[in-house]
Amino acid sequence: MTTNHGRLHQLGLHHGTDKATYHGYLDFYETHLPAAVGRLLEIGIMDGASLKMWHDYYPDATIVGVDNDEQRGRRNIPGVRTVWLDATDPSEVELLTARLGPFDVIIDDGSHMTADQQRSFELLWPAITPGGSYVIEDLHTSHMSNYVNSRQTTIEWLNDMAAQVDGGHNVAISTIIGFWKNQGDPAGFVARHGFPTGRDLWIGPERAESITAIIVKAPAVDRNLADHFAADMVTDDDEVD
């Protein structure tokens, strides 16, 4: 059976990003991310493959990549702004967002440590434009003990967040959309928040090899409410040794 992939997936294959070659995220992104953006930020640069892909997919956008590794953060990628910084450091993130934000899309493809995922969201959520999208990739690390260094795994944390949205207790978020793919499953599975068995749908079988989620900011929300929500979701006390 042949699977027809979209343009973003084809660009991902062209540039060799594992978002296409291994995880299979890109058709999901093409469906749920905006067709055009003004500014996109990605945490985690590696060899620059996905940043090159985003530059080709959003040719009129400002594409920014950040990394806490100096060599990667200083990498020269044509058409892309690269920055050496720690996306979990409040002062560095504040400087970044003041100079280059706000962003229509932010993708966290960084360390995949659960505390880092949650901390970066807390710091960067206020820099998302109304109606914009915050993506947390490779959530399957919530099932890997060497990546869990927070009170809750990031999947558990997202389920709590989805419950707040469903219950009307969080007006800062429009929706949360999850995707997981098992080995040999080319299509994966898409689940929106609000399913009665949401936890099972979010996690899928624990053998799921690739899990990602998109958190969509409400299109017209009071900024103070949005910022207050993010501040309440994660605290420094959540980190564990």
Q: What is the identity of the amino acid at 80?
A: V
Cα–Cα distance list, 67 to 104, 190, 195 (Å): 19, 29, 35
- Order the strands of the 80-84 sheet from edge to edge: 80-84, 62-67, 39-43, 103-108, 128-136, 210-217, 173-181, 189-192
Show the DSSP H helices in the chain as ranges: 7-15, 18-21, 26-32, 49-57, 70-73, 90-100, 114-124, 154-166, 198-203, 223-233
Annotated catalytic residue within 23, 112, 140, 193: 112
Q: Which residues contact 89 (CB under 8 A, 6 or more apart)?
A: none
Does 112 participate in catalysis according to the annotation? Answer: yes
Q: How far apart are the first and last CA of the chain?
A: 47
Q: Which residues contact 103 (CB under 8 A, 6 or more apart)?
A: 39, 40, 41, 64, 97, 124, 127, 128, 129, 132
How far is C-alpha 73 from the chain's CA centre?
Answer: 19
Catalytically annotated residues: 112
